[in-house]
Amino acid sequence: MRQIQFTRKAIKDLQKLQSSGSLKTPERLLHQLADTKKGDQFSHTIHLSGYTHLWRSRIDLGGGSSLRLIWSENIDDDSIRFLYADQRDSDTYAIDLKQLPQEPAYSWCGESGAEWSLFMNGAYNASPILTQQQRSITAKVAIDNSYTLHGDSHSHRIGFFAHITQSPPGTGKTITAAVRACELHQSGWNVIFLLPQRLIEDVKSFSCMRSIDLLGNRR
């Protein structure tokens, strides 16, 4: 199955349409796209002339209206990235598509029905894709091999290293730390993730955390 990604703008576009009451769930299109192989044809989809990797898919909403979704293909891994959503072609082609943000922010993990509604109402935060800047920060942590020995007895001392990240609220510190913790765990590290009680349930909902047997790895 091909990976489906969203930029922050695409998510906000869909949320805006949803809040207006004019959006019907388009997850059926996502399933169709995810199940296709590179080069396959999708219904109601055209390649946008003048744009190498941009496509436009249309979903009929009934009553003569339809939803337009603009997306691109990643030539390296065949993933699909949604960049823009609107209802009318006149609005779609009035914008400069070359200026659309390209960096993905969230990944669709097959949600549909009630889960799709949750995804569109903020649960997308549970499936983040780290930005280039966030990746740069975690890369610096990964190559920091300096450590401090802690403990009274030389034979029982534990080596550890620390990295402090500071940024304004809402900029993704917790998400960055959670994703990095998952990566370390998958690489064979024993990881203890400490955070305030009020954030525990939120972090448990992250897709990378759900892939780990939390009960079995709590010790």
Q: What is the pLDDT of residue 84?
A: 92
Considering the domain architecture, whether residues 122 and 147 belong to the same structural domain is answered as no
Considering the domain architecture, whether residues 198 and 146 belong to the same structural domain is answered as yes
Considering the domain architecture, whether residues 12 and 64 belong to the same structural domain is answered as yes
Considering the domain architecture, whether residues 158 and 118 belong to the same structural domain is answered as no
Phi and psi torsions of 196, nearest 5°: -60, 150
Q: What is the pLDDT of residue 217?
A: 47
pLDDT tens, position by position, 138-187: 776 666 555 555 555 555 555 566 677 787 777 778 888 888 888 888 88
Handedness of CA 57, 62, 63, 67 (dihedral sign): negative
Exposure on the CB side of residue 123, measured as CA atoms within 13 A: 16
In a domain, 218, yes or no: no
Considering the domain architecture, whether residues 8 and 109 belong to the same structural domain is answered as yes
Considering the domain architecture, whether residues 13 and 97 belong to the same structural domain is answered as yes
In a domain, 216, yes or no: no
DSSP annotation of 155 reads G
In a domain, 34, yes or no: yes
**Which one has a higher pLDDT value, 141 or 37?**
37
pLDDT tens, position by position, 93-141: 677 888 889 889 899 988 888 888 888 888 888 888 888 877 787 776 6
Cβ contacts of 175 within 8 Å, gap of 6 or more: 125, 128, 130, 134, 206
In a domain, 219, yes or no: no
Q: What is the pLDDT of residue 209?
A: 82
Domain C-terminal end among 76, 102, 126:
126
Q: Cα separation of 57 and 32, whole Å?
A: 11
Domain count, the chain: 2
Considering the domain architecture, whether residues 110 and 40 belong to the same structural domain is answered as yes
Q: Cα separation of 22 and 123, whole Å?
A: 21
Asked if 118 and 127 touch (Cβ cutoff 8 Å), the reply is: no
Considering the domain architecture, whether residues 193 and 117 belong to the same structural domain is answered as no
Q: What is the pLDDT of residue 156?
A: 55
The one-letter code for the residue type at 72 is S
The torsion of the CA quartet 14, 135, 137, 105, rounded to 10 degrees, works out to: 0
Considering the domain architecture, whether residues 41 and 100 belong to the same structural domain is answered as yes
Domain C-terminal end among 93, 126, 159:
126
Considering the domain architecture, whether residues 111 and 9 belong to the same structural domain is answered as yes
Q: What is the pLDDT of residue 71?
A: 92
- Whether the per-residue pLDDT at 54 is higher than 50: the answer is yes
Structural tokens at position 44: 């109601």
Q: Backbone dihedral region of 173: left (phi > 0), alpha (psi from -120 to 50 degrees) or beta?
A: alpha
**Which one has a higher pLDDT value, 81 or 39?**
81
Domain C-terminal end among 100, 126, 152:
126
Considering the domain architecture, whether residues 84 and 55 belong to the same structural domain is answered as yes
CATH of the domain at 38: 3.30.2310.20
In a domain, 169, yes or no: yes
Buried b (16+ CB within 10 A) or exposed e, 17-50: beeeeebebbbebbeebeebeeeeeeeebeeeee
Length reported for the chain: 219
Domain that includes residue 74, residue range: 4-126
- Whether the per-residue pLDDT at 64 is higher than 90: the answer is no
Considering the domain architecture, whether residues 89 and 8 belong to the same structural domain is answered as yes
Q: Cα separation of 88 and 65, whole Å?
A: 8
Q: Cα separation of 17 and 65, whole Å?
A: 13
